[in-house]
Every structure is written in structure tokens, then in C-alpha cells.
Amino acid sequence: MTLKYDTVFFDLDGTLTESGPGIIRSFLYAFEKMGLPMNQDLDINTIIGPPLGGSFKAFGIPEDRVDEAIRTYRERYFTIGKYENTPYTGIEDFLKRLKDDGYCLCVATSKPEVQAKDILEHFHLNHYFDEIAGASLDGVRGTKKAVLLYLLAKTGNRRAVMVGDTEFDIIGAHQTGMDGLGVSWGYGTRESMEEAGADGIADTMDELYRMIAEK
């Protein structure tokens, strides 16, 4: 019997690693260094996952200073913040299980690709992935949809599923014709992923495995 999927695309932040501390501290650093007030009415955890530009605007950075805010954020994140990060307990065993089963595994993240590769290498997880794709620093590949289309082209449009922790992962998957599975241990909410039409939401890695390995 043919498996439903033969390729699994994973988000990085909030799905493979608990990356919140480094992202949040670098985000706050940008506001402090630029001397600008920050919108205190929003949940700071919502910045983890979506592209930075939209998050900076939502939290009060003027449109004409968003690029400056991103550059300032990267001053800290590229040198310190990316290592304020921890792989979720059990994630390496989970990836090994899928790899041993013959799945093609890839990373599809909205963070810059060069940083995603560095983080996965730092935690010795990079060898589980056939491809690691993220946003390009020039902004051309700056949305989840764009990253997924790039990966689909590289992997030959296989039977792929996207796994992530926010509605942006689910929406991006559906925009490219894939199923989108959510995980509840990250930074998004079950409600937002359900509203985006998630094809399943896993509370544990064993549950996620069963969703992926469904015939």
C-alpha cells in the first residue's frame, strides 16, 4: 500500500526547536537601540514564526524604518540570539525514525536560510535533512509560500506535507496544494491553526508520526 506522503517539510522555530528566547531578546534589542516605543497590547510570542517585517510593523515600527529594524535585530540575532535556542526533547529520535522509514525530510522556514543551516548544524540535526530552505536575505523568497514553492521545485513536487506550529505554516501549505499539519508544542495556538484549516494537529511526536505515516 502506498504511503500518503513521501516527503515531510518542517518549520524550524516552534516545531523543531524552542527558539523564543533568542528571537524575543533580539526583537526587543532592535526597539531599544532605535529608541522607539513598542506596542504593549500584543502578545510578544506572536513574533515567532511570521516574517519579521510584518511583526515589526504590528508592534509599532514605522513603515519607512522596518528595514532598519530588521538590520538592527540581525546585529544581535546573528551573533547571539540564534544560539539562545533548544531542540525539543525527543525531536532527534523522531527525525531519525522518519529518516529510517525512508522519508525525504526538509526544513521550510521563514527565517533566513543561512541562519537555519547554521542553527541545525550547531545542534547536529542538519544531516537528517535532504534540503534546508528559508528566506533569502534579499527578500525575494520572503514568505512561507515562496519557500515551499522553492522546495517543491527542488524536490520534484513529491507527495509532501508541511508540519508547523502556526497558522502561517498551514496557510502556506494550502497555498501550494499541500496538506498542513500543526503541532501544539510551539508558539501558535490550536484555535488559529484550526481556523486556517489544519489537516490535523498533534499534541505529541508519536501522534504526529501516526498522522504522517497514515496509509
For the record, the C-alpha cell of 196 comes out as 486556517
Separation between Cα atoms, residue 23 and residue 77, nearest integer Å: 7
Taking the C-alpha atoms of residue 155 and residue 10, their distance in angstroms, rounded to an integer, is: 14
Q: Where are the alpha helices (DSSP H) in the chain?
A: 20-34, 52-58, 66-77, 91-100, 113-122, 144-155, 167-175, 190-195, 205-212
Please give the Cα distance from 48 to 210 (Å, whole number): 27
Catalytic pick among 6, 11, 13, 64: 11
Place of cell 524575543: 24
Query: The C-alpha cell of 94 is what?
Result: 523522531
Is there a contact between 163 and 8 (Cβ–Cβ < 8 Å)?
Answer: yes
Please indicate whether residue 100 is annotated as part of the active site: no
Residues acting as catalytic residues: 11
